[in-house]
Amino acid sequence: MATALQTEPTTDSPLTIGGRAFRSRLMVGTGKYRNNGEMVRAIEASGAEIVTVAVRRVDLDRTKDQGILYHLSPEQYFLLANTAGCYTADEAVRYARLAREAGFNQFVKLEVIGDRETLLPDTEGLLAAARELVSEGFKVLAYTNDDLITALRLEDAGCAAVMPLASPIGSGLGLLNPYGIRTIKRRLSVPVIVDAGVGTASDACLTMEQGVDGILMNTALAEARDPVTMATAMRLAVEAGRQAFLAGRMPRREVAMPSTPNAGMLEVGE
Amino acid sequence: MGGDHVSELEIMVNGEPRRVPSPATAADLLHHLGLDPRTVVVELNRKIVRRLQLNDTALADGDAVELVHFVGGG
């Protein structure tokens, strides 16, 4: 009788941020889509649960649409407001408070930008805003660079998650510093979500293979020729990268190693 | 002074001057602009007006009002 030798596949635990559990490790933004229909279909295809939104003035002439809630149901998605476009801690805190009032949760994706060309974070302002918002009861997900020290300080400040960039916002340059991202993940206890810079599916897969907890992306979907198909690719890539990380890759070797046994080969010669 | 005796408030809404019939509350302003209070957040002179307080918050001449909502973003 054959013994059933079953190896259970490595199972993944849900991603928990600020006490909330999520199935999907892919989070998506809602900016820059050519139209709202395409955005809704892309978000559906991505399988994302967390969807980012921004706070802006209402268009009083209302020549434009009626806000994002008209297209995305807060019952279907976990809406994560950002403070994009803020250049000081005070401004970011103001936007976060408005977002909390407009929104459905205490979560905020905190951005304090330090430079208009690169959109790299102002880490001093970021830390100041994070401390203030944490003291006001916010669950802060802090967009930061790939610097370990800043990431550690954000964790110390009480952030619910730290979000280092793969490369600058909207650049699509992919994962520029795998070592930095791995180091941040290794040293932090809170979730590490890579935010910004992913351009295509291989970038997402490679990023997840570093062991991070998730990825947030926007432009890679919105600016793809076909956002819906790219969203499917990203969903699969994030899952593939996650599974590969959990599986544990083979060692790298500088020499070849045959996959086929030498034993049992026929004798050479006449 | 017009002959109709309808007094008005001059306030700033989203950075632009606007006249609204007086007296007016924050809720009146939203109604006047055709906005749904469930999807708009009101900030009056840099302080958020909670949704439940919209009816009790009177506007005064020179007030700066911001009306914001969620839009697409990353």
* Residue B74 domain flag: no
What would the pLDDT profile of B38-70 be if each residue is shown by its tens digit?
A: 889 999 999 999 999 999 999 999 999 999 999
| pLDDT computed for residue A67 by the predictor | 81
Cα angle: A143, vertex B42, A72; to 5 degrees: 55
Does the distance separating the beta carbons of A54 and B70 come in below 8 Å? yes
pLDDT for position A111 = 98
> What is the pLDDT at residue A189?
97
Test mutation, B35, B39, B42, B69, chain A, max A CBs within 10 A: B69
| A3 found inside a domain | no
Q: What is the CATH number of the domain that holds A165?
A: 3.20.20.70
Residues of chain A with pLDDT under 50: none
Q: How many domains does chain B have?
A: 1
Name the residue range of residue A193's domain: 23-56+71-247
Looking up residue B51, the CATH number of its domain turns out to be 3.10.20.30
Is B31 a domain residue? yes
Range of the domain at B29: 8-68
Domain count, chain A: 1
Inter-chain CB proximity B16 and A81 less than 8 Å: no
The structure tokens listed for A89 are: 């801690």
pLDDT at A75: 87
Residue B2 maps to a domain: no
Question: Is the minimum CB–CB distance between A98 and chain B shorter than 8 Å?
Answer: yes
Domain assignment present for residue A6? The answer is: no
* A84 part of contact set with chain B, CB < 8 Å: yes
Does any domain span residue B34? yes
User: What does the buried/exposed string (b/e) look like for A200-237 if buried means 16 or more CB atoms within 10 Å of the residue's CB?
Assistant: ebebbbbbbbbebbbbbbbbbbbebeebbebbbbbbeb
Query: CA A112 to CA A91: how far, in whole Å?
Result: 9
Residue B1 has pLDDT above 50, yes or no: no
Q: How far is A99 from chain B (nearest CA, A)?
A: 8
Q: Confirm whether A222 is domain-assigned.
A: yes
Does A265 reside within a domain?
Answer: no
A86 assigned to some structural domain: yes
Query: Is residue A18 one of the residues assigned to a domain?
Result: no
pLDDT at A194: 98
Per-residue pLDDT, A147: 97
Give yes or no for A66 touching B (CB within 8 A).
yes
Whether B13 is covered by a domain: the verdict is: yes
pLDDT band at B2 (very low <50, low <70, confident <90, very high): very low
* A259 contacts: CB under 8 Å, gap ≥ 6: none
Q: Which amino acid is at A48?
A: A
Nearest to A105 by CA among A70, A46, A53: A53
**The pLDDT of residue A241:** 98
pLDDT of residue A61: 82
Give me the pLDDT at residue B5, please: 59
Q: What share of chain B is helix, strand, coil (3-state, %, to 5)?
A: 20, 40, 40
Is B3 a member of any domain?
A: no
pLDDT value at residue A107: 97
Q: What is the ipTM of this complex?
A: 0.89
